[in-house]
Amino acid sequence: MNPSLEALLGAADAALRTLFAKPHGTRALPPPATPGGKISEPERREAGALMRVNHVGEVCAQALYTAQAAVARDPKLRAHFSEAAREETDHLAWTRQRLDELGAHPSMLNPLWYLGAFGLGLVAGRLGDPLSLGFVAETERQVEAHLDGHLDRLPAADTASRAVVAQMKLDEARHAAQAWSAGAQELPAPAKALMRLASRVMTTVAHRI
């Protein structure tokens, strides 16, 4: 099969599985450190909204890694991106499970989020492997900070969601460290600022829709 056609079919398959199939992780849902308590209806809605934002983040992570793997020049780096996408599938499955348990729905704009993130991944990949890895490192750094903020906002009694977010935070920090070890190049300050702005728009909209 033509390599370009194979990459295109692989990207299409990844998009369909991310957006329309039930995700299956390789790790079980992280267990809470303490039993959960009763949460009020407003707290349940807020927890659901926060987990919807986190689920959108994982949809975007799948798109980013799939796109970067498709255009990576180094076969080892391509394998690195593909493995990262598989690891992020755990997060996708966990956040979707918590959405279901909280009676919340995924973002109705997930196809749009996926398309936008895929485009960003293609652009980052075309800039060369060091900058592509730098994009990963900066993305994971911002996501880690974002998850830290969610730990402050999630209801204390929702220990199940808190356990998921805490484990995701650890995993994202590890992914960033792996990107630096693989040769990531620091992104220019304007690029970081633009990423923060895009993230703020996404999280604000996904919190509601």
Q: Tens place of pLDDT for every residue, the chain, 209 residues?
A: 444 556 666 667 777 778 777 888 888 899 998 887 889 999 999 999 999 999 999 999 889 888 888 887 788 888 878 777 788 889 999 999 999 999 999 999 999 999 988 988 888 888 888 888 898 899 889 999 999 999 999 999 999 999 999 999 999 898 889 889 888 899 888 888 888 888 888 888 998 88
pLDDT at 104: 95
Contact 165, 154 (CB under 8 A): yes
Per residue, the 3-state secondary structure of the chain, as one string, reads CCHHHHHHHHHHHHHHHHHHCCCCCCCCCCCCCCCCCCCCHHHHHHHHHHHHHHHHHHHHHHHHHHHHHHHCCCHHHHHHHHHHHHHHHHHHHHHHHHHHHHCCCCCCCHHHHHHHHHHHHHHHHHCCHHHHHHHHHHHHHHHHHHHHHHHHHCCCCCHHHHHHHHHHHHHHHHHHHHHHHCCCCCCCHHHHHHHHHHHHHHHHHHHHC
**pTM for the whole structure:** 0.90
- Hey, what domains does the chain have and what are their CATH numbers? 39-208 (1.20.1260.10)
pLDDT at 25: 82
